[in-house]
Amino acid sequence: MDELSVTGIECYAHHGVFEHERREGQRFVIDLTLGVDTRSAAASDDLQETVDYGSLVGKVKAAVESDPVDLIETLAVRVADVCLIDRRVEWARVTVHKPEAPIASAFADVALTIRRDARTTQ
């Protein structure tokens, strides 16, 4: 299985447990890696034979920036579900970064990575 990655998708959203996170919002960064068989696309050189990552990024960004949730765990599953809509995606590894998380100490990033398999989510 080949891997297609798109990293550093920047989104601004209002997720979080605290009221100020919901009110003010903050930056989230999404990394995607998808398990895709690219042989057919490589042979045909046809975008219709593969995952259109430009379109996918738009859908992921829209999913992140809608409907606030409390936890990045919930958000990560939402993003994975968007990725797995395309029948060519066998699995999705999603990392949600929350670099401005409300932590009372110096830190570089908070990140959660999940992997979901198309066979177990449908």
Residues annotated as catalytic (active site), given as ranges? 98
Which pair of tokens denotes residue 15? Answer: 């997720």
CA atoms within 13 A on the CB side of 88: 17
- The sign of the CA dihedral 35, 39, 42, 48 is negative
Which pair of tokens denotes residue 83? Answer: 């990725």
Contact 40, 73 (CB under 8 A): no
Q: Distance between CA 30 and CA 59 in Å, rounded?
A: 12
